[in-house]
Structure 1
Amino acid sequence: MRHDFLHPHSKFRHALQAMGRGHGDGSHHRGGGRRGSGGGDDMPRGRKFSSDDLQLLLLALLAEEPRHGYELIKALEVRSNGFYTPSPGMIYPALTYLEELGYATVEMDGSRKRYAISDSGRQYLETHRERVDMMFAKLKHFALKMDSVRRAFSGEESDEGQDGRSWIPELLQARHAIKRALYSRSDAAPGEQLRIAQILAKAVAEIENAQEQKDR
């Protein structure tokens, strides 16, 4: 008889799997993955980003500073708090593809390659800036979830809502209410869909404006 369900490490592992912790990603080079996985509400289980998504993330990191391949892997691991750690078999083919497209340049640093973004790579990155920002926002969101899960399984008291590391119940309820409202109008006529879109666009603008004022 198995008793894994009694072991805290086993519980932690299953919690991570429920959040999509597995490394079942498909090929992350030459556009081989599904497109647009960065646009959903949550990252799908067993798959984090498409090949195009990964390439954009790498370009964004290279835009900050030149990096070796292993440094890019570490940067994504740190930003996601361990949630997303692509393997070298995913990173290096993607970097080779970016180099072939002319979006990245390479120079030898001893026996290792250091990658940097090119001018055309910056232009390509800027045309997809909104998509990149959304993916980094998701990494941050799941990084907070990882921290919450770790604290829960270590027996620490939850400080939900006090330090900004988790969503307070009121915000979660509002989020679910929006989902329910949208699902209930899945068969709405085009005119009604436009009205709903305008309402949501106004709400997004108010949220972003409030954040901009806070950052000033």
Structure 2
Amino acid sequence: MNFPFHHWFFMRRAMGAMGGWGMHHGMVGRHGGGHRGRHGHHGDDGDHDGGDRGWIRGRKFGGDELQLMLLGILEKNPSHGYELIKALGAMSSGFYTPSPGMIYPALTYLEEIGYATVELEGSKKRYHLSEEGRAHLDANRDRLDMMFGKLKHVARKMEWMRRAWTGKPMEAGPEGEDAATGWVPELVQARQALKQAVFRRDDADPTEQRRIAAILMRAVREIEGDGTEQA
């Protein structure tokens, strides 16, 4: 779906205000997004707190992260390079569509280190996940789930923005959730209230910062658990 320039400008501004996502494909290194090494992890992938605003300032994913996502897709479906590009685009509702200049160096690197194998189909290459690649994927499953979760999250934001541009009212699902995004109003309001509360205390002294951190970590433990943990 193509949008006029002023729509893209509006989306950048709006997503920025929402703690949203950047619009750049990012800087590309030899291995597709920047060299990380075979098992290493680079720490310069956005905000230090892992927030969304890092995408506004530049690269969405580092090279090792792109490689891991490619392995995650290959686990389900052996694919050509262009199919992997389309899969990432579909997962993010068109927002994250790496260029061939990012994808193919990453695939070459995965083949070189033994994480992927290649099946020749005429002049095309179909990539498969190797057993060594599967072991690497299993060791990084939580990290992969987080990255795929980000792509699904931005896809929902894209649907929200498209509806806002057209003035289309929200269609509620059977439990009151937004049919386009799956988000219930209570969750949206709670997230907004949390962001505002933290922003209002941006100049808090160290003691207050630690009190806030303790509250947030308790919330994280409850969210990651079954919701029955005691404060």
TM category, shorter: 0.7 to 0.9
Aligned length: 201
Q: Which residue of 2 aligns with 1:14?
A: 9
Structure 1 residue 202 corresponds to structure 2 residue 202: no
Cα shift at 1:118: 0.7
Q: Residue 44 of structure 1: which of 31, 55, 78 is its match?
A: 55
| CA gap 1:200/1:103 in 2 versus in 1, 3 angstroms | same
SS in 2 for 1:206: coil
TM-score, with structure 1 as normaliser? 0.78
Q: Which residue of 2 aligns with 1:211?
A: none
Cα shift at 1:167: 3.4
Cα shift at 1:107: 1.7
* Contact 2:156-2:180 within 8 A present in 1 as well: no
| CA gap 1:122/1:188 in 2 versus in 1, 3 angstroms | farther
CA–CA distance in 1 between the matches of 2:28 and 2:7? 27
The one-character-per-residue Cα deviations of 1:107-161 (angstroms, maximum 9, x if unpaired) are 2111011111111111111111111111111111111111121222233223363
Give the RMSD, CA atoms, in angstroms.
3.0
| CA gap 1:25/1:191 in 2 versus in 1, 3 angstroms | closer
Structure with greater helix share of residues: 1
* Contact 2:63-2:106 within 8 A present in 1 as well: yes
The one-character-per-residue Cα deviations of 1:42-99 (angstroms, maximum 9, x if unpaired) are 2521421111110110000001111000000000011111010000000000111111
Q: Which moved more, 1:20-29 or 1:112-121?
A: 20-29
Higher relative contact order (CA 8 A, sep 6+): 1
The residue type paired with residue 37 of structure 1 is: D
Cα shift at 1:194: 5.7
Runs (5+) with no aligned partner, structure 1: 1-7, 208-216
Cα shift at 1:182: 5.7
- Over the matched positions of the two proteins, sequence identity in percent amounts to 44
The residue type paired with residue 137 of structure 2 is: L
TM-score, with structure 2 as normaliser? 0.74
Q: Which residue of 2 aligns with 1:146?
A: 158
| CA gap 1:188/1:97 in 2 versus in 1, 3 angstroms | farther
Q: Which residue of 1 aligns with 2:169?
A: 157
Q: Which residue of 2 aligns with 1:32?
A: 35
Runs (5+) with no aligned partner, structure 2: 16-20, 37-41
